Structure 1
Amino acid sequence: MALPNPGMEIVPEQTALVITDPQNDFLNPSGAAWSVVGESVTENNTVDHLDALFRTAKETNIQVFISPHYYYPSDHGWKFEGTLEAVMHSISMFDRIDPLNLDDFEDSGADWLDRFKPYIEDGQTIVVSPHKIYGPETNDLVLQLRKRKFSKVILAGMSSNLCVESHMREFLEQGFEVAIVKDATAGAKVPEGNGYESALVNYRMMANTVLTTEEVIRQLRETTVSV
């Protein structure tokens, strides 16, 4: 039996673009995780697709939210870790000096990819507090969305089967409609498996709809014209 596609109507005042972890450690060839995610990022043309989503959201007045990933020295005192947590901590991924100190932050692995800075630092994008594992349960993203009366989320970013999938799952549990942009993400390829391919299965089984960047852009422009 083929799975249904419930779809998601884009209503501008109710719809937000949420991007997870648009940071150097994932998306820059010099980033800490590039050795495992770089092939997938390249294959999906992830950076170009994220750029296109940012640009179109700004042009069509769709609110953009960023859910970043930061680790401070206090986070390295954890007494136990999951598999990828241990990896991220061991390679100093997303490390910052502390929440209030930006020394050595610019162009670090935790900083935004340079290409995205004009969109993120335009004074209009909402950057929420950092998530610490994978999902938004540990930051204020859901609160910020609710306080602005958003009920629909277009979701993209890094990485596919970790932070993107975890955000999707929590959004659905919280009663949001979720459209996943499947080519504006990427995942790790390790001997145990391909994170991106595993995520695609769960996206299809759980999200309201799974779209390409081109499809999202077309819908955003059509919706804006009709409004």
Structure 2
Amino acid sequence: MSTYPLNKTAVILMDPYNDFLLPGGKVYPRLEASLQSVGLLPRLHKLVASVRELKIPIFYAMHRQYREGDWKDFQNPTAMNLQIVATKTFEKGSWGAKFVEGLEPDIGAGDVVVTQHWNSSGFANTNLDLELRQHGITRVALAGLVSNTCLETTGRYAVELGYHTTMLKDCTAGFTQEQLDVAINIAYPLFAHAVLTLEEWLDEVKKAA
């Protein structure tokens, strides 16, 4: 029996925004070296194309799109919150807050765009858990950005909620190579059920097909 039955498996794709992944994006310069060394963008394109062929849904966990006044009256804003305010990262209606071309959700194919997260967890204060459970999903594979912030936090939260959790270690990038290495080699193995490359995971998934 496959570890990843197709009708119970989904991808959680974190923050495929232009501001992260494309030159001209507000956060791109901080990620550029890691994005290039990993070859992240073409790999995410392959991930999306592959799961669409297998009819596995993608649940898009997107960061809050900045609006004027966000975090203004928060008693305990984080450094990340303040950085977003200062740079207007993912500003609603801007090019930077659009999905990277080719990585957009396909609702007709079963993809789901969940409510936006304010900090790092794709689960906290969103409907991600509800949507996954209502779609019968028990096994999730995580990809996207950033390796040791949103991706790691969402993966840890998935485990706490009882999901079989796979971290796709070559489908993410970090602000530094050191942060990426620590995430995939030290942090992920501490909590995830599996830490696999995209090819390794696809090989496992195809056993169910």
Q: Does 1:89 align with 2:85?
A: yes
Tell me, what secondary structure is at the counterpart of 1:138?
Answer: coil
What is the CA–CA distance in structure 1 between the aligned matches of 2:73 and 2:25, rounded to whole Å? 23
Query: Who is 1:75 aligned against?
Result: 70
Q: Does 1:217 align with 2:208?
A: no
What is the CA–CA distance in structure 2 between the aligned matches of 1:194 and 1:37, rounded to whole Å? 12
Pick which of 214-223 and 129-138 moved more: 214-223
Alignment match of 2:166 (pick from 160, 179, 201): 179
What is the CA–CA distance in structure 2 between the aligned matches of 1:109 and 1:44, rounded to whole Å? 21
What is the CA–CA distance in structure 1 between the aligned matches of 2:144 and 2:71, rounded to whole Å? 25
Query: Who is 1:22 aligned against?
Result: 16
TM-score, L = length of structure 2: 0.91
Alignment match of 2:46 (pick from 52, 60, 64): 52
| Alpha-carbon offset, residue 213 of structure 1 | 1.1
What is the CA–CA distance in structure 2 between the aligned matches of 1:210 and 1:14, rounded to whole Å? 19
| Alpha-carbon offset, residue 77 of structure 1 | 1.5
Identity of aligned residues (%): 27
Q: Does 1:158 align with 2:142?
A: no
Number of residue pairs matched by the alignment? 203
TM-score, L = length of structure 1: 0.84
Tell me, what secondary structure is at the counterpart of 1:223?
Answer: coil
What is the CA–CA distance in structure 2 between the aligned matches of 1:78 and 1:90, rounded to whole Å? 15
Q: Does 1:139 align with 2:135?
A: no
What is the CA–CA distance in structure 1 between the aligned matches of 2:158 and 2:197, rounded to whole Å? 20
Tell me, what secondary structure is at the counterpart of 2:172?
Answer: coil
Tell me, what secondary structure is at the counterpart of 2:60?
Answer: strand
| Alpha-carbon offset, residue 150 of structure 1 | 0.8
Whether the 8 Å contact between 2:71 and 2:81 is mirrored in structure 1 is: no
Tell me, what secondary structure is at the counterpart of 1:178?
Answer: strand
| Alpha-carbon offset, residue 15 of structure 1 | 0.8
Whether the 8 Å contact between 1:71 and 1:132 is mirrored in structure 2 is: no
What is the CA–CA distance in structure 2 between the aligned matches of 1:140 and 1:223, rounded to whole Å? 28
Alignment match of 2:116 (pick from 124, 130, 138): 130
Query: Who is 1:195 aligned against?
Result: 179
RMSD across aligned positions (CA): 1.6
Q: Which sections of structure 1, spanning at least 5 residues, go unmatched?
A: 1-7, 97-103
1:137/1:122 Cα in 2 relative to 1: closer, same or farther (>3 Å)?
closer
Q: Which sections of structure 2, spanning at least 5 residues, go unmatched?
A: none
Q: What amino acid is aligned across from residue 196 of structure 2 in structure 1?
A: L
Whether the 8 Å contact between 1:180 and 1:207 is mirrored in structure 2 is: yes
What is the CA–CA distance in structure 2 between the aligned matches of 1:86 and 1:74, rounded to whole Å? 12
